[in-house]
Copies of this chain bind each other. A is one copy, B any other.
């Protein structure tokens, strides 16, 4: 039915769509030479979707957790932001977040910091009490971001 040029176009579009949707890039920004790297990527970008690893509220250079919970919340959100931006996306692209927290009394403190990272609308989010987190952190934050269409 279709003429040859139509068929070629169809094939070209199909191949392009498959590549754009499922090609992946591993995002790894923060490792230091001193660390034995754990078996994770900071994020994986597949097509337009970025899967963001659980980031701990631990300073990647010192391995320390800040004493002040507000500073701790800022530290973990800055780490998430760096991963998002390393993948070429922005925090406006984040659509879903999970916060794991070892002390639910820190809910308001966390929110006061978190709010400023999303001036244009809040992602879907769950705030969950964790039994424990690695390295004594109070917070671990993971999520999903989807790149928006570029403005013409």
A24 within 8 A of B: yes
Q: How far is the CB of A10 from chain B (nearest CB, A)?
A: 7
Q: Is A53 an interface residue (CB 8 A)?
A: yes
CB <8 Å contact, A107 and B126? no
Which positions 78-108 of chain A face chain B at CB distance < 8 Å? 95-96, 98, 100, 102, 104, 107
> Chain A, 102-130, contact with B by CB distance < 8 Å: what is the 0/1 string?
10100100010011001001111111111
Q: Is A63 an interface residue (CB 8 A)?
A: no
Size of interface on A: residues with Cβ below 8 Å to B: 66
For residues 1 through 33 of chain A, which have their beta carbon under 8 Å from a beta carbon of chain B? 2-3, 5-6, 9-10, 12-13, 15, 17-19, 21-24, 26
A49 neighbours in B (Cβ, 8 Å): 146
Contacts of A149 in B (CB 8 A): 15, 18-19, 22-23
Tell me if A74 counts as interface (CB < 8 A to partner B): no
A6–B124 CA distance with the chains assembled, in angstroms: 39
Do A132 and B129 touch across chains, with their CB atoms under 8 A apart?
Answer: yes
**Interface, chain A (partner B; CB < 8 A):** 2-3, 5-6, 9-10, 12-13, 15, 17-19, 21-24, 26, 38-44, 46-49, 51-54, 95-96, 98, 100, 102, 104, 107, 111, 114-115, 118, 121-134, 140, 142, 144, 146-150, 152
